[in-house]
Amino acid sequence: MGHLNIRRAFLRDKLLIREVTWRTGRSLKTVIKHLDSGTIGPKFATPGRPSKLDPYAEKFAVWLKIDAAINVLWVHPQFFRFRGNTLAINSGPV
């Protein structure tokens, strides 16, 4: 477990220092030294590059809207009824 994991376990996960030493297998002095150093970790700039999924962003947004509408129907089945083979959405509870 590296330097960043010690800080995460102590600060974010709210573990005691002795618990961090037990989980990491490092001595109490080493863990205290890492926590007192105040350094966050290596700082380097990640280059801005386009994602492989960027060309499909609009399609994903449409799919998410459709999925959200379908989930609302499953959560509240009183808002839909069937007419023959088609699904009709009611304006309110039946």
Comparing C-alpha atoms, which of 67, 77, 80 is closest to residue 89? 80
Beta bridge partners of 80: 89
- Does 7 have pLDDT greater than 90? no
Domain of residue 72 covers 54-89
- Structural contact between residues 9 and 3, judged by C-beta atoms closer than 8 angstroms: no
Neighbours of 9 (CB within 10 A): 20
**Does residue 43 sit within a domain?**
no
pLDDT at 92: 53
**Does residue 33 sit within a domain?**
yes
7 with 32, same domain: the answer is: yes
**Does residue 76 sit within a domain?**
yes
- Does 82 have pLDDT greater than 60? no
59 with 33, same domain: the answer is: no
pLDDT in tens, 24-68: 899 999 999 888 887 766 677 778 888 898 999 999 999 888 887
**What is the count of structural domains for the chain?**
2
